[in-house]
Amino acid sequence: MTKVIKNISEWKVIRNSEDLKNKTIGFVPTMGALHKGHASLIERCLKENDISVVSIFVNPTQFNDPDDLRNYPRTFENDFKLLETMNVDYLFYPEYGEIYSDNYRYKIVETDFSKKLCGAFRPGHFEGVLTVVMKLFNIVRPHKAYFGEKDYQQLKLIEGMCKAFFMDIEIVPCPIVRDEDGLALSSRNLLLTDEERKIAVNFPELLKSKKSANQIKEELEKLGFKVDYIEDIEGRRFGAVHIGKVRLIDNVEL
Ligand code: PAF
């Protein structure tokens, strides 16, 4: 049975109880609309810890586009079923006011890498991500936390934050999970029409090709994508594109 916790005060009682004393706590923060990518993080978390906590919180402060926030898929019933099937111990499922009692007056700001790649196209995005992750870490107090490499920039920024603030949490990077056709799994894939889904496959295919970043950008644009960026940084190629109303990101090792 997965126990749903909505209040921080309720969780604090459990977290400080004898039951959890000397147990290792693993944590998988999510925004719900869970897919096999999330399942792979959760599986690893279950394997490596005595107690597993998953959070579902669609964090408004990391959405720079109100339409994106409104349309973000919400599939709570299925998500909960998956967590129960997987035997996750706790689901932390807070409301906005529980997390942002300060009305987002306090923020975590990174001033360098967060301004590049997605940060250059989504002002305030990483402030929102880092702030909510810091809050969730302080609430859950996990020993280990699991993040997917699809959001590679996010992963690196969270690792950097933990180091900068001397946080005693091990960040565990988990490999990208792809559909059979190569598209990286993402909650936003649910929003693609069948037609868009077929075209979307070109994105990972071109990203891993031997072509230059510029060539890839041109080819994607010809195929109807709106390209935010294709950029090579430190042996990794990063890309972000729009197809219809959906924004997709991906990265590959060069
Ligand atoms: O990767 C996500 O789903 C979100 O950015 C996260 C880490 C749960 C913070 O809201």
Query: For each of the chain's 254 residues, which pLDDT tens digit applies?
Result: 999 999 999 999 999 999 999 999 999 999 999 999 999 999 999 999 999 999 999 999 999 999 999 999 999 999 999 999 999 999 999 999 999 999 999 999 999 999 999 999 999 999 999 999 999 999 999 999 999 999 999 999 999 999 999 999 999 999 999 999 999 999 999 999 999 999 999 999 999 999 999 999 999 999 999 999 999 999 999 999 999 999 999 999 99
Please report which residue ranges of 66-207 form alpha helices under DSSP H.
66-71, 76-86, 96-99, 118-121, 125-140, 152-164, 194-200, 202-207
Indicate the top mutation candidate among 104, 129, 136, 169 to test ligand 1's pocket, ranked by most ligand atoms within 8 A of CB: 129
128 and 135 in contact (C-beta within 8 Å)?
A: no
| Residues in contact with ligand 1 (CB, 6 Å cut-off) | 29-31, 59, 62, 129, 132-133, 151, 154
Q: Ligand 1: which residue has its CA nearest to atom 2?
A: 30
pLDDT at 56 (0 to 100): 98
DSSP label at residue 185:
P
Q: Which domains does the chain have, with CATH numbers?
A: 3-174 (3.40.50.620), 187-253 (3.30.1300.10)
Q: How far is the CA of 108 from the centre of ligand 1 (A)?
A: 15
6 and 93 in contact (C-beta within 8 Å)?
A: yes
Q: Ligand 1: which residue has its CA nearest to atom 1?
A: 30
Q: Ligand 1: which residue has its CA nearest to atom 8?
A: 30
Indicate the top mutation candidate among 31, 57, 69, 130 to test ligand 1's pocket, ranked by most ligand atoms within 8 A of CB: 31
Task: State the catalytic residues.
Answer: 38
pLDDT at 3 (0 to 100): 98
DSSP secondary structure, 46-76, as one string: HHH-SEEEEEE---GGG-SSHHHHHHS---H
pLDDT at 132 (0 to 100): 98
Report the predicted TM-score, pTM, of the whole model to 2 decimal places: 0.97
pLDDT at 193 (0 to 100): 96
Q: How far is the CA of 210 from the centre of ligand 1 (A)?
A: 31
User: Per residue in 87-121, pLDDT tens?
Assistant: 999 999 999 999 999 999 999 999 999 999 999 99
